[in-house]
């Protein structure tokens, strides 16, 4: 057995866990904190809530909310300026994956020199980062527990995958109440992102028993609670289950890494301002079908966790049923089926295929993929 | 849902993971490290190995090995002196639960004033501890990942349970190779300790989905690999499985806490120099039987994870089969059945019962226990 590493932040999970954000920052020695967020989160009232908690904790703060979906290096640069001008020494991220990834990237440049693109790849960060407390408001990217930050290089129009143990936040706060302000489309796409994390981590070549147990429970929760969570903003049982699913899938993929769906999704997201989870959802069943021959037994297990009775089925039949389950789930919650539905055209496919092959997530995909295989797969989904 | 917290060290797991101990200490900023160990570990050659790694890493060190089973406060005091005299600033623990618990207690008094008994209970430690890298050589106590340190108060002749997030080591190193030097009796008793951790954490009132998944896999691994691990020092598949079981059970109980078996076991271990795992093994089936009515569904799940076909059984029957499984496992690996077999006499029972009720682990037991209930249970096992 190769040596496996497993890194996790301190986790605070539960209703009203968000109220602990001030105490968490003070415990880490924060003197003045930069609160990183975006307009959607601000409009939902969560930024104001964080500001109030900082005030109550006598913790000085500055704010930065100039962040878009699939956030760019230029936004990181702006955030670093705000951090420096205000002489902050710690960071709170409150939001979905885009916000948390920018918060992490600001942390990198707060203590390390150069441009954010200097840190693309694995373990490039040299100096320790300022304390980070991440509050997750989508279930979700898993960024609150992961060692990943994904930032768009705006010149090259591609997503950079930055991976480092030091990007694991000090404290992750997951409060299911924050999920009640998400609309159904965002709940659907971020929920399918969780499913993609769970399945890619479970079939990853870097999976371990420590990541497997988290991935499997995340898969079970998504299979049972994503539909009701999309159906109702106020179904707290479903919100709690999806918050836990997001957390557990995050713990799994942060340590087992991901696969071809994320590699391709990053390539598409770098060029088009599309929801990351929706792209993953379109790709996932096709990648599962492609990957089947690498880990057939694992796909039977995936089917069983989804609630499919696999007795009497061949491994191939069980794998097909798992793929069909994902397709049906996507359809039920209104995810489009084809790449053209989200605006991708045939003349983009060569470039997307080439970029995907260079993504760090491709390394842990259980089945090798070459250019022709990526291209053919994308043409079939077009 | 109440707010749940989950704390984990960075984990390095695998064959020859021990070789990373020098790099791990340097990464944490260590300038001179105190290596804490005991004679058994030294005789097996592991202490020498750690010393060589420190030399190769140009990391100055001192050593402290004056530790017994069920270690005492007086041993901690000696270790603190060695730490101070040698101007150490970091700690490596290499050994089983006794060694790692002393290493943690030395860390407490290295930066906090007073006596170790000042820190008995939950969250009493105020100042940050020096960096700690813990190398586990028994599968085992789980101390390498847990927020616990159990130290005997030699005046009061009782075990003190010290619980604090800051006791979670910075880095835990688990190397299955180190298990190959354990004799079969130690493999048996430490393996039953792992089983007790997994079951008590799974039925604990503080269990969460994050701890459940770890506890369940630990239980599965013990049920399938403890027998072959006791049978052979060189069965690497079994050693790896038991090392993972110990790790996962440790992650579960560190965050879900334990129950009545550990509360009573601490009370006995404080008065008699007996192997902790063996005491737990004798108590466990009786505590399972007592706890059944609190969480009947969980005991059916435990039976299923052990490989018992529960179809057609009532919950009570399934629970009984789980208890029988534990009894059979104990018998197969040579664990005694009764307390008198390990030297406990009737006139000790009142004091043991009273002490057990005051142990922190009793709080999370799923069924309330009063003095008469503990006493009756112990009389029945005598």
DSSP string, A91-153: EEEEESHHHHHHHHHHHHHHHS-S-GGGG-EES---SPPPPEEEEE-SS---TTT-SEEEEEE
- Range list for CATH 3.40.50.1970 in chain B: 10-178
pLDDT band at residue A1 under the 50/70/90 scheme:
low
Q: How many CB atoms lie within 10 A of CB A40?
A: 22
User: Quick check: B4 and A12 CB within 8 A?
Assistant: yes
From A1, A8, A240, residue closest to B15, measured CB to CB = A1
A1 touches chain B (CB under 8 A): yes
Q: Give the residue on A whose Cα is nearest the Cα of B14.
A: A3
Q: What is the DSSP letter of B339?
A: G
User: Quick check: A13 and B210 CB within 8 A?
Assistant: yes
Per-residue pLDDT tens over the stretch B290-326 = 999 999 999 999 999 999 999 999 999 999 999 999 9
Q: Which residue has the tokens 């908690």?
A: A53
The average confidence (pLDDT) of chain B is 95
User: Quick check: B11 and A5 CB within 8 A?
Assistant: yes
From A3, A209, A248, residue closest to B17, measured CB to CB = A3
- Range list for CATH 1.20.1090.10 in chain B: 182-381
From B13, B213, B221, residue closest to A3, measured CB to CB = B13
Per-residue pLDDT tens over the stretch A51-91 = 999 999 999 999 999 999 889 999 999 999 999 999 999 99
Residues on chain A touching B20 (C-beta within 8 angstroms): 3
ipTM: 0.85
pLDDT band at residue B1 under the 50/70/90 scheme:
low
Q: How many CB atoms lie within 10 A of CB B358?
A: 12
Q: Where are the alpha helices (DSSP H) in B206-348?
A: 209-231, 236-256, 260-269, 276-291, 296-305, 315-332
Give the percent of chain B with pLDDT over 70.
Answer: 99
Give, to the nearest 10 degrees, the angle between helix A371-381 and helix A276-291: 120
Per-residue pLDDT tens over the stretch B38-81 = 999 999 999 999 999 999 999 999 999 999 988 999 999 999 99
Q: What is the DSSP letter of A170?
A: S
Residues on chain A touching B10 (C-beta within 8 angstroms): 5-7, 165
Per-residue pLDDT tens over the stretch A138-194 = 888 899 999 999 999 999 988 999 999 999 999 999 999 999 888 999 999 999 999
Taking the CA atoms of residue A145, residue A1, residue A291 and residue A193 in that order, the dihedral angle to the nearest 10 degrees is: -10
Residues in chain B: 382
Chain B, window 183-222: residues with a beta carbon less than 8 angstroms from a chain A beta carbon: 208-210, 212-214, 216-217, 221
Q: Give the residue on A whose Cα is nearest the Cα of B18.
A: A3
Is residue B271 within 8 A of residue B343, CB to CB? The reply is no
Give the pLDDT score at A221: 98
Could you report how far apart the first and last alpha carbons of chain A are, in Å? 40
Residues on chain B touching A212 (C-beta within 8 angstroms): 217
What DSSP assignment string belongs to B40-93?
HHHHTTHHHHHHHHHHHTT--EEEE----SS-BHHHHHHHHHHHHHTT--EEEE
Q: What is the DSSP letter of A70?
A: S
User: Quick check: A210 and B5 CB within 8 A?
Assistant: no
Give the percent of chain A with pLDDT over 90.
Answer: 93
B243 touches chain A (CB under 8 A): no
From B2, B176, B244, residue closest to A14, measured CB to CB = B2
Q: B288 to chain A, minimum CA–CA distance in Å?
A: 24
A247 touches chain B (CB under 8 A): yes
From A14, A210, A217, residue closest to B1, measured CB to CB = A14
What is the CATH number that goes with domain B10-178? 3.40.50.1970
pLDDT band at residue A197 under the 50/70/90 scheme:
very high
Per-residue pLDDT tens over the stretch A356-366 = 999 999 999 99
User: Quick check: B210 and A5 CB within 8 A?
Assistant: no
pLDDT band at residue B4 under the 50/70/90 scheme:
confident
Q: Which residue has the tokens 């197969």?
A: B332
User: Do strands A158-163 and A148-153 pair parallel, antiparallel, or not at all (unpaired)?
Assistant: antiparallel
Q: What would the mean pLDDT of A310-314 be, rounded to a whole number? A: 96
Q: Which one, of A200, A102, A111, A91, lies nearest residue A152 by Cα?
A: A102
The average confidence (pLDDT) of chain A is 95
Residues on chain B touching A213 (C-beta within 8 angstroms): 213-214, 216-217, 248
From B17, B20, B213, residue closest to A214, measured CB to CB = B213
Per-residue pLDDT tens over the stretch B195-208 = 999 999 999 999 99
Give the whole-angstrom CA distance, residue B242 versus residue B326.
16
How many CA atoms are closer than 13 Å to the CA of A128, on its beta-carbon side?
A: 9
A139 touches chain B (CB under 8 A): no
Q: What is the DSSP letter of A312?
A: T
Per-residue pLDDT tens over the stretch A29-38 = 999 999 999 9
B58 touches chain A (CB under 8 A): no
B4 touches chain A (CB under 8 A): yes
Give the whole-angstrom CA distance, residue A202 versus residue B195.
26
User: Quick check: A3 and B12 CB within 8 A?
Assistant: yes
Q: How many CB atoms lie within 10 A of CB B334?
A: 12
Give the pLDDT score at A139: 83
Give the percent of chain A with pLDDT over 70.
Answer: 99
From A12, A213, A216, residue closest to B5, measured CB to CB = A12
Per-residue pLDDT at A325 exceeds 90: yes
pLDDT band at residue B3 under the 50/70/90 scheme:
confident
Reading the block at residue A63, the tokens are 């704010």
Q: How many CB atoms lie within 10 A of CB B112?
A: 17
Give the whole-angstrom CA distance, residue A226 versus residue B330.
43
For B159, list phi and psi in degrees, rounded to 5. -80, 135
Of 1.20.1090.10, 1.10.3210.10, 3.30.70.3270, 3.30.530.20, which CATH number belongs to A182-381?
1.20.1090.10
Per-residue pLDDT at A235 exceeds 80: yes
Give the pLDDT score at A59: 97
From B12, B212, B247, residue closest to A5, measured CB to CB = B12
By the 10 Å C-beta count (0-12 exposed, 13-18 middle, 19+ buried), A42 is classed as middle
| Total beta-carbon pairs less than 8 A apart between chain A and chain B | 90
Give the pLDDT score at B5: 85
From B7, B8, B209, residue closest to A217, measured CB to CB = B209
Q: B205 to chain A, minimum CA–CA distance in Å?
A: 16
Per-residue pLDDT tens over the stretch B217-229 = 999 999 999 999 9
Give the pLDDT score at A256: 95
Per-residue pLDDT tens over the stretch B97-127 = 999 999 999 999 999 999 999 999 989 999 9
A15 touches chain B (CB under 8 A): yes
User: Do strands B148-153 and B158-163 pair parallel, antiparallel, or not at all (unpaired)?
Assistant: antiparallel
Per-residue pLDDT tens over the stretch B240-253 = 999 999 999 999 99
User: Quick check: B1 and A15 CB within 8 A?
Assistant: yes
User: Quick check: B208 and A247 CB within 8 A?
Assistant: no
Q: Which one, of B102, B104, B134, B122, lies nearest residue B10 by Cα?
A: B134
Residues on chain A touching B144 (C-beta within 8 angstroms): none
Is residue A62 within 8 A of residue A82, CB to CB? The reply is yes
Q: Which one, of B105, B177, B104, lies nearest residue B139 by Cα?
A: B177
Q: What share of chain A is helix, strand, coil (3-state, %, to 5)?
A: 60, 10, 30
Give the percent of chain B with pLDDT over 90.
Answer: 93
Per-residue pLDDT at B139 exceeds 90: no
User: Quick check: B213 and A208 CB within 8 A?
Assistant: no
């Amino acid at each position: 057995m190769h040596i496996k590493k497993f890194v996790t932040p301190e986790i605070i999970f539960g209703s009203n866990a968000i109220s602990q954000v001030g105490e968490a920052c003070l415990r880490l020695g924060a003197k003045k904190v930069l609160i990183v967020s975006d307009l959607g989160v601000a409009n939902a009232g969560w930024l104001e809530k964080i500001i109030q908690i900082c005030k109550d904790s006598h913790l000085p703060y500055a704010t930065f909310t100039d962040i878009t979906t699939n956030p760019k290096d230029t936004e990181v640069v702006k955030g670093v300026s705000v951090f420096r001008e205000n002489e902050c020494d710690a960071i709170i991220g409150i939001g979905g994956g885009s916000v948390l990834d920018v918060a992490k990237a600001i942390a990198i440049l707060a203590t390390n020199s150069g441009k954010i693109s200097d840190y693309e790849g694995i373990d490039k960060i040299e100096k320790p980062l300022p304390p980070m407390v991440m509050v997750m408001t989508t279930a979700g990217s898993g960024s609150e527990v992961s060692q990943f930050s994904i930032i768009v290089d705006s010149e090259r129009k591609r997503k950079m995958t930055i991976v480092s143990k030091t990007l694991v936040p000090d404290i992750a706060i997951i409060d299911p109440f924050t999920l009640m302000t998400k609309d159904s489309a965002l709940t659907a796409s971020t929920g399918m992102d969780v499913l993609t994390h769970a399945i890619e981590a479970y079939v990853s070549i870097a999976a371990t028993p420590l990541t497997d147990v988290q991935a499997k429970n995340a898969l079970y929760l998504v299979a049972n609670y994503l539909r009701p969570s999309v159906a109702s903003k106020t179904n707290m049982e479903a919100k709690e289950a999806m918050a836990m699913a997001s957390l557990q899938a995050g713990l799994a993929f942060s340590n087992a890494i991901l696969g071809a769906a994320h590699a391709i999704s990053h390539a598409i997201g770098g060029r088009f301002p599309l929801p990351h989870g929706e792209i993953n959802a379109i790709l996932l069943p096709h990648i599962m079908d492609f990957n089947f021959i690498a880990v057939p037994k694992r796909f039977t297990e995936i089917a069983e966790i989804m609630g499919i009775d696999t007795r009497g089925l061949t491994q191939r039949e069980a794998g097909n049923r798992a793929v069909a389950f994902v397709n049906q789930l996507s359809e039920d919650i209104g995810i489009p089926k084809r790449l053209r539905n989200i605006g991708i055209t045939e003349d983009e496919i060569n470039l997307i295929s080439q970029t995907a092959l260079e993504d760090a997530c491709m390394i842990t995909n259980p089945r090798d993929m070459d250019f022709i295989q990526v291209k053919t797969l994308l043409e079939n989904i077009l």
